[in-house]
Amino acid sequence: MAPTRTVKNKHAANGSGIKNSKASRAPQSDGIVKAKKPGAKPTPTSAKQLTKKKKRKVYTEKELGIPKLNMITPVGVEKPKGKKKGKVFVDDRESMTTILAIVQAEKEGQIESKMIKARQLEQIREARRIEAEKKYEERQTKLEETKEGLRKKRKRPNTREDETDAVVKEALVSASKAKKPKKKVAFAEE
C-alpha cells in the first residue's frame, strides 16, 4: 500500500489535488436539485398530540416473573377476583381454634414470664431492704455501746491513779509537741 497524505482541509473544493476523496469522485453538479419521490405523508403534529403522554403498559407480578415471598397467608386474606376481602380466615372451625389456642398460649406464656420476672425483682428488692435494715440496726447497736461506754467512764469517781495517769499523758503529749512544732503557713491577713 502506498503511503497516505494527511489532509489539512477536508472540506476543500473538488480538484484540490486530493485523490480518492468524496468530492473528487462525485460528479460536479450544475446547481439543479432533483425532487425526491413522494413517500408517506408526514403526520401532522398538533399541540394536543405533543403534550399527550403515551399510556405505559402496567405489568403484573406474574408477567414480570417476580417470585412470591415466603409468607403464610390465611385463606380469607387472599382476595378472590371480583370480590371484597373476606373476613373468614379459616374454613374449618377446628384448625381455627387450634391456631387461636397456640397464639393464646404464647401470649399467656409471655405474660407469665413477665410476672415471674417481676416477682423475682420484688424478692431481690425485699432481700436488699432487709439487709440494709440489718446493717442499720448493727450500726445503731454499735453507736449505743460506744455511748454507754463513754457514760460509764464519766460516772466513775476520779482516783489518784487516774489523775497521775492523766498528768503523765499530758506531759508526754506536751513533750512531743515541744519536739515537733507544727508548721504553719501564713496567708495575707486582714
Report whether pLDDT(45) > 80: no
Which pLDDT score, from 0 to 100, does residue 133 have? 96
CA 189 centroid distance within chain: 61
**What pLDDT shows up at residue 67?**
72
Report the percent of the chain where pLDDT is more than 70.
54
Q: Are 79 and 85 in contact (CB under 8 A)?
A: yes
Query: Mind listing the pLDDT tens digit for each residue in 120-177?
Result: 999 999 999 999 999 999 999 999 999 999 988 877 665 566 667 777 677 666 655 5
- Does residue 39 register a pLDDT over 80? no
7 and 18 Cβ atoms separated by less than 8 Å = yes
81 or 117, higher pLDDT: 117
pLDDT (mean) for 177-181:
56
Kindly tell me if the per-residue pLDDT of 68 is higher than 90.
no
Residue 132's alpha-carbon distances to 135, 139, 151, in angstroms, are: 5, 11, 29
Cα–Cα distance for residue pair 105/90, rounded to 1 Å: 19
148 or 77: which leads in pLDDT: 148
Cell of 124: 431481690
Summarize the confidence of residues 77-91 as an average pLDDT. Answer: 62
Tell me if 59 sits within 8 A of 50, measured CB to CB: no
CA torsion angle for 149, 152, 157, 161 (degrees, to 10)?
A: -20
The answer, yes or no, to whether residue 31 has pLDDT greater than 80, is: no
Q: Does residue 19 register a pLDDT over 60?
A: yes
Global pTM reads 0.28
Residue with cell 407469665: 112
Q: Give me the pLDDT at residue 131, please.
A: 94
Element (H, E) at 149: helix 93-155
